[in-house]
Structure 1
């Protein structure tokens, strides 16, 4: 397994739902100084760039991306031309959410991810080459951060897209590693824990509030500045962009759902600019304190003039009466925040419950964590249970910096809590109560055999053993496919909640000796992969393979 010392440069990439960024350092940097890229096209000083693409008319090539694909201030004159609609939120297609955002007809989400990483990767390569003359494919360790709820399929697709985007020499290159976003944030937050005098043995929770997802993890601070995971990671789709969606629902009540739909479809740039104005003038300033709030007027004929073309009936009459001005009051804005904030509070409460309320600190990171209202609600709900609730400096880059720190010292992650039950398929004797239709001609049945249970805390490089023996002397291969399920156990490998992590089989010798047909199966839980070994005690043959660790 590759390690940091095999490389000269570490680069971490935070491919986000709404914004993306990267950080980097040189292995021999004595101060271990981590640099965050801030020179995005014409927008210097920004830690991240939008995860947005703009294609040409035939979707043949990327016309622009990032900031340059975003809308500029619209012209006041009446517009009839149809805007090109940028592609965004395509990362959400990697998750298991329902109602995934639509993409242009003919555009696959994998291609969108690949195209974005290709453009993004150009900037990464140029920056690293400007700093140090290194071979990007052999001397640079890449660390991608992913949401806590991503499964092995999503991670596998990310690897495939990174390869097709030109970031890897081959699809299974060892210089690409994955880690969860809250795990990266927890590593970075260890510095904050020192400042607050949290001692070894203290538990702390990291709540990573991004644009699309919110991810949580609870860790314990161990000796030697290492971390132990003590609960299952959790997360949901309730990031800051969902407040923007609530704002658009509010607008629908003023101008009609059809008007917003038509603007979204035909003049997306103006819709986007209108949302940006809401974020700038209202969202980031909202504290939840009525005494600090001033009603905000949004002049739709200025920030979205094209909307007049689509507003009809009673909505048109009312808007003309109000001179196309929307007045946002305190209760209006609070209603936009509350459904999202309540979800985050529920997630935090569930994490706290999993740790038996034994938590010394809650650290909030990610772009949405800068919301004063979200901060105040978290403190209001949990300050009586948790003595420290803090937002570290520059929370928006906690993840990308923590991932680089992990690259320096992977042993910082001491243990993980398994999110899945792992098992394989075995042939056993049919028993009373087993489904009759599953009984094979030889009186056996293929069933799920649990190897390790969900919720088990495993040390990095812990081993799990299981012995198997072929009951049929004529059998020449033994299947050792690996399956995962969110349940504590399963009966069969084709149960609805069981999925295949990987297929594998090993050779058996032409022998009737039981020892020759016996296999010792070993799983080793590494940082990002599961090493699997099968040892035949009779022939002393050793077989091995790897599976992506379903984080």
Structure 2
């Protein structure tokens, strides 16, 4: 069974294998389309009615009441569906009324009547009553982008034959969101009970069963900063360097071991490369480890490249034919870099957090 898994921002494609383990078919992707963005749309709406300065002062001086307001909105936005005609009531803290009056010399009622929402929002005592379309408008921009991105994913060859859309995270509890996915996709959306806690529960389960996910897609390209024989036909002059033994080398070469999007299998060596010292008398080889979001990074100085670690490997003997084999293994949430000095078989290791780098 294959299914799409989406939270507030990231959307991934997983496959359930025989025995219940999971492998990642397509790495998490998406954008800034989650529930927090919906909250920001609501705050922008309040700023338009009450005034930017009044809302900012209310937020700064009355944090508890501000959070109560957002919690009330959170509950109401999840319960709004696609067909609702009923107005949605949001309780406004009394403090906000006083702040608006004091800063603008106008009541909140007068400010509302002077806004573009005079026909779609009413104020009754301490509650703003929003037309259902106004509430849905807070969600629509994010929802359209989520639907488009999901549609694009389903068109990819590796994402064919997906059986279901699994929706988790707080935003997934929105009835409007669920109904729009049902309307736009033939796949049945699955929303587990307490979807808002599903990510946390899943993390706890994964902590106890790290072998539950057997394959992931690499989020980054990983490699080693190295050198290569300089070739003026393919290497820029800025990377040309003459060393004390007279050799002319290209420096800052991004020697790729794992590419972004590659499949990484738990406990398996993904790839390995051999590196050699520049000088015959060299005693230590330094292995700088870099990441990039570009599958085809050429140099470690390219935009987006970042050093995430370094290993020092002692070298036995003399000569430039002494090799150090660098290999990468996937270990759950880590990529394990192993450097093997072939003459002595001594191993140096470095663990890199797969979810961070």
TM-score by length of 1: 0.57
Deviations 1:339-391 (A, max 9, x none): 222232234234323434431110111222111001011111212xx2x2211
* Worse-matched range after superposition: 437-446 or 293-302: 293-302
Are the counterparts in 2 of residues 226 and 413 from structure 1 also a CA contact under 8 Å? yes
5 Å-filtered alignment, 1:66-85, equals: none
Deviations 1:2-45 (A, max 9, x none): xxxxxxxxxxxxxxxxxxxxxxxxxxxxxxxxxxxxxxxxxxxx
How far, CA to CA, are the matches of 2:258 and 2:92 in structure 1?
58
Distance apart, 1:550 and its partner CA: 4.2
Unpaired runs of at least 5, structure 2: 114-122
Q: Which position in structure 2 is the counterpart of 1:141?
A: none
Q: Does 1:502 align with 2:305?
A: no
Distance apart, 1:264 and its partner CA: 1.8
Q: Which position in structure 1 is the counterpart of 2:25?
A: 230
Report SS of the residue matched to 2:7. strand
CA separation of 1:520 and 1:284: change in aligned 2, threshold 3 A: closer
CA separation of 1:540 and 1:320: change in aligned 2, threshold 3 A: closer
5 Å-filtered alignment, 1:244-393, equals: 244-280=39-75, 282-289=76-83, 292-298=84-90, 300=92, 302=94, 304-312=96-104, 318-319=110-111, 326-354=128-156, 355-383=158-186, 386=187, 388-393=188-193
Q: Does 1:430 align with 2:230?
A: yes
Are the counterparts in 2 of residues 365 and 395 from structure 1 also a CA contact under 8 Å? yes
Are the counterparts in 2 of residues 274 and 304 from structure 1 also a CA contact under 8 Å? no
CA separation of 1:252 and 1:401: change in aligned 2, threshold 3 A: closer
5 Å-filtered alignment, 1:20-39, equals: none
How far, CA to CA, are the matches of 2:23 and 2:112 in structure 1?
60
Q: Which position in structure 2 is the counterpart of 1:206?
A: 5
Q: Which position in structure 1 is the counterpart of 2:350?
A: 545
Distance apart, 1:310 and its partner CA: 4.4
Q: Which has the larger radius of gyration?
A: 2
Are the counterparts in 1 of residues 136 and 176 from structure 2 also a CA contact under 8 Å? no
Are the counterparts in 1 of residues 276 and 320 from structure 2 also a CA contact under 8 Å? no
Deviations 1:429-469 (A, max 9, x none): 21114221221123212111111211111211121211112
Q: Which position in structure 1 is the counterpart of 2:213?
A: 413
How far, CA to CA, are the matches of 1:397 and 1:225 in structure 2?
21
How far, CA to CA, are the matches of 1:218 and 1:441 in structure 2?
48
Q: Which position in structure 2 is the counterpart of 1:534?
A: 339
Q: Does 1:470 align with 2:277?
A: yes
Report SS of the residue matched to 2:274. strand
How far, CA to CA, are the matches of 2:112 and 2:150 in structure 1?
45
Q: Which position in structure 2 is the counterpart of 1:459?
A: 265
Q: 1:402 aligns with which of 194, 199, 202?
A: 202
CA RMSD of aligned residues (A): 2.5
Are the counterparts in 2 of residues 454 and 488 from structure 1 also a CA contact under 8 Å? yes
